[in-house]
A and B are shown apart, each in its own frame.
Chain A
Amino acid sequence: MTTVEKLKAILVKDLNLEELTPGDIDENAPLFGEGLGLDSLDAVELVVVVQKHFGIDIQNMDEAKAAFQSVRSLASYIEGRLSGG
């Protein structure tokens, strides 16, 4: 399973996006506002989700802002951190 696929499944389950399946999520669509429609509380949950499932602690909010643009950008950020970037 790719990081993008894993992230989609995690988002649906951990953020309780009951009306969606992982396949419904456009990996390039914005996570917040239009697109997936997440909000500020979801941003906090996302920080927890990334820590819990990938062991990555996001403390730099500028980094988080860039990473949280879309599923694709978040997956790239995670892969970069896991590879020591």
Chain B
Amino acid sequence: MSGPDRIVIEGIGAVGGFGCGISVLSRALTEASSSPGTFDLSTGSGTVRIPAFLADVSRLGEFIPVRTLRRIDRFSRLALLGSHLALADAELPEAERSRLGIIIASGYGATGITYAFLKSFISDGDICASPTYFANSVHNSAAAHISIQLGATGPSLTVTHFHLSVPSALATARLWLAEGRVQRVLFGAVDELSELIGYVRFRMRHAPPDTPMTPLWTEMETSIPAEGAAFLLLARESAARGGYCTLEASTTGSMPNSGVPFPEAGLLVLGADGCPESGGRYAAAAQNVRVACYTPLYGSMPSGPAFDVAAGALILKGGRLFPSPGAAFRDFPATVPAGGDPVGTDRIACLTLAEDNAYGLTTLGKLPDTACVRAREGRTSS
């Protein structure tokens, strides 16, 4: 796509362990600082406390009455908060929400409410299964909640492709916009750290306490489980009212022998998240390119690549790089630009590696000056 058919990221809404809102994310990126909290788990040997990046959804009350939220589970609350933050960031008027498509990407889905439903079913019998729990356990329920609350009448979809959920869903978003099926797409990646996921992470990926995330380190687990939501409001450039950057491409595939199919001289944002089995593969992909990695700021979750995209969009809009947090590249001789350096490229790609040599690559481009001028004029006159 080129010219007015380019896709623009108009607004970003993000909530996670770093805090809530794009300005808070930007500050965390600038300061390369975000500390995990703790998450208490019930295990067979008592309560265990693990480090975790947890999201605070209390700001959702600014957008939706508390009574309205009572049947909405935590996963959907994360999604609703991210969606409202993105729309507020883009200053999209309510009148322009009708032809809005909703696409949610999630690696795990609404595990908290789904397993609460199953637990009630098993413990109390089918006659006591909560209809509200059941409704929220339906795979597309978060997208439905968003559509209902926003009055969006476009299509809604939830994509689950584990680590590749984000690039897969973004590819669909691009398709919807290219077809003219919708005027805008509200894309969001969501994962919640439910008790179930926390337990699984504790059993399968237990990092030593007080160990910072070291994404390219292959010798030990350093991933810290996380939850959050990152939303992007997408529109074709001809309809966009402003924005951060263009969404040039989003692809998935099997990694070719020649390495990441990414144009040279750009910046590669690595989705490496402290899992040792993928750390080596990320390190191999990072050879001979300028790389950055921001996962230590928001933690390890399948939706992480959407936060990488948000970081890339902020870099392209601001023209300056964010520093990769201190431990990101420990003992790895990568070409890592310092924080505050000029971005030095019109293109940033976000790389996600998955099982079986699969990869996802989302490429962002600098918003053309003409589009910026038109966007500014549009916002001024509105």
- How many residues does chain B have at the interface if contact means C-beta atoms less than 8 Å apart? 13
> Is A48 a contact partner of B71 (Cβ separation < 8 A)?
no
* A61 contacts chain B at the CB level, 8 A cutoff: no
Q: Which residue of B66, B67, B69, B129 is within 8 Å of A48 (Cβ)?
A: B129
Report B116-143 CB contacts with A as 1/0, cut-off 8 Å: 0000100010011111100000000000
Nearest neighbor of A52 in chain B, beta-carbon distance = B128
Interface residues of B in 187-207 (CB under 8 A from A): none
A37 and B65 alpha carbons, distance in the complex (Å): 14
> Is B70 a contact partner of A48 (Cβ separation < 8 A)?
no
A57 and B124 alpha carbons, distance in the complex (Å): 13
Given A41-B71, A41-B132, verify A57-B127 contact (CB < 8 Å): yes
Interface residues of B in 34-69 (CB under 8 A from A): 66-67, 69
Q: Which residue of B70, B129, B132 is within 8 Å of A17 (Cβ)?
A: B70
A65 and B120 alpha carbons, distance in the complex (Å): 26
CB contacts (< 8 Å) of B130 on chain A: these are 14, 45, 48
Q: Which residue of A15, A44, A51, A57 is within 8 Å of B70 (Cβ)?
A: A15
Of the listed residues A14, A48, A57, the one surrounded by the most CB atoms of chain B closer than 10 A to its CB is: A48
> Is A16 a contact partner of B128 (Cβ separation < 8 A)?
no
CB contacts (< 8 Å) of B127 on chain A: these are 48, 51, 57
Is chain B's binding surface mostly helix, strand, loop or mixed?
Answer: helix
> Is A51 a contact partner of B128 (Cβ separation < 8 A)?
yes
Given A16-B70, A18-B70, A19-B66, verify A44-B124 contact (CB < 8 Å): no
A70 and B25 alpha carbons, distance in the complex (Å): 47
Of the listed residues A17, A19, A57, the one surrounded by the most CB atoms of chain B closer than 10 A to its CB is: A19
Nearest neighbor of A16 in chain B, beta-carbon distance = B70
Taking the nearest CB of chain A, how far is it from the CB of B42, in angstroms?
A: 19
A16 and B67 alpha carbons, distance in the complex (Å): 9
Interface residues on A, range: 10 to 19
Taking the nearest CB of chain B, how far is it from the CB of A21, in angstroms?
A: 13
> Is A45 a contact partner of B66 (Cβ separation < 8 A)?
no
A44 and B127 alpha carbons, distance in the complex (Å): 11
Interface residues of A in 33-80 (CB under 8 A from B): 37, 41, 44-45, 48, 51-52, 57
A48 and B135 alpha carbons, distance in the complex (Å): 15
Q: Which residue of B69, B128, B132 is within 8 Å of A18 (Cβ)?
A: B69
> Is A45 a contact partner of B131 (Cβ separation < 8 A)?
yes
CB contacts (< 8 Å) of B132 on chain A: these are 41, 45
Of the listed residues B69, B71, B120, the one surrounded by the most CB atoms of chain A closer than 10 A to its CB is: B71
CB contacts (< 8 Å) of A44 on chain B: these are 131
CB contacts (< 8 Å) of A14 on chain B: these are 130
A45 and B71 alpha carbons, distance in the complex (Å): 11
A69 and B208 alpha carbons, distance in the complex (Å): 56
Taking the nearest CB of chain A, how far is it from the CB of B146, in angstroms?
A: 19
A14 and B127 alpha carbons, distance in the complex (Å): 16
CB contacts (< 8 Å) of A18 on chain B: these are 66, 69-70
Nearest neighbor of A15 in chain B, beta-carbon distance = B70
A17 and B128 alpha carbons, distance in the complex (Å): 19
> Is B71 a contact partner of A52 (Cβ separation < 8 A)?
no
Nearest neighbor of B120 in chain A, beta-carbon distance = A52
CB contacts (< 8 Å) of A19 on chain B: these are 66-67
CB contacts (< 8 Å) of A52 on chain B: these are 120, 124, 128
CB contacts (< 8 Å) of B70 on chain A: these are 15-18
Taking the nearest CB of chain A, how far is it from the CB of B123, in angstroms?
A: 9
Nearest neighbor of B130 in chain A, beta-carbon distance = A48
Residues of B within 8 A of A (CB): 66-67, 69-71, 120, 124, 127-132
* Contacts A41-B132, A44-B131, A45-B132 supplied; 6 other A-B pairs, CB < 8 Å: A15-B70, A16-B70, A17-B70, A19-B66, A19-B67, A48-B130
Closest 5 CB pairs of A and B: A16-B70, A52-B128, A19-B66, A44-B131, A52-B124
Residues of A within 8 A of B (CB): 14-19, 37, 41, 44-45, 48, 51-52, 57
19 contacts between A and B (CB under 8 A): A14-B130, A16-B70, A16-B71, A18-B66, A18-B69, A18-B70, A19-B66, A19-B67, A37-B67, A41-B71, A41-B131, A41-B132, A48-B127, A48-B129, A48-B130, A51-B127, A51-B128, A52-B120, A52-B128
